[in-house]
Amino acid sequence: MGVSMPTGGGGGRKKSLDAELNLVPFIDLLSMCICFLLITAVWIEVGSMQVKQSHGTEGAAQAKSDLELDVKMTGPGAVQIAVKKGGKSIRSITVKESAPDQFVSKLDTQLKQVTGMGPVTAAMVSPAKGTSYGDLVQIMDVLRRNKISNLGVVPVRDAT
């Protein structure tokens, strides 16, 4: 990042007033700053979902009369819900719809019926192998809309 000043031709004593400024390092620095700012700007708008742990420290203190849900994602647009009371399954619901918006509304309707049976304290979501993250978050969002905040996700295990 130096400045070079060429000397005048010939045998004269005066030096030329034209300075040659190397701008390549400045352009490199500015392009790196722009790249850094563009990449880090994404992290400013990261959303979050406030949920509690479904089983664990608070899970042991819950009443036995409350309901729990086991939500098993069987495929795209298909869910099996097992309603449990005191650890025993009392009802099983299957929601299957090919259109995503109809699936969400049908699942919401079924969950309203379940929450009408009594307070639901926790839900465990079991995604199928190959389930997209968006589908998982969409189901968790429907659970949250129905006042079920203690959510858990069972990790998918390989059969090998």
**Residue 131 and residue 146: Cα distance in Å, rounded?**
22
φ, ψ of residue 90 in degrees (nearest 5): -110, -15
**Average pLDDT estimate for 113-135:** 83
pLDDT above 70 for 158: no
**Residue 9 and residue 32: Cα distance in Å, rounded?**
39
Nearest of 24, 17, 29 to residue 2 by alpha carbon: 24
pLDDT above 70 for 123: yes
Confidence at residue 59, expressed as pLDDT on a 0 to 100 scale = 46
| DSSP secondary structure letters along 98-138 | SSHHHHHHHHHHHHHHHHHHS-EEEEEEEPPTT--HHHHHH
pLDDT above 70 for 71: yes
Give the rounded distance of the alpha carbon of 53 from its chain centre. Answer: 17
From residue 22, how far is each of 2, 5, 8, 15, 124 by CA, in Å? 7, 11, 19, 19, 62
Q: Is the pTM above the cut of 0.75?
A: no
> Which CATH number, 3.30.420.10, 3.40.50.620, 3.30.70.260, 1.10.150.20, labels domain 52-153?
3.30.420.10
Choose between 11 and 120: higher pLDDT: 120
Domain parsing of the chain, residue ranges: 52-153
pLDDT above 70 for 65: no
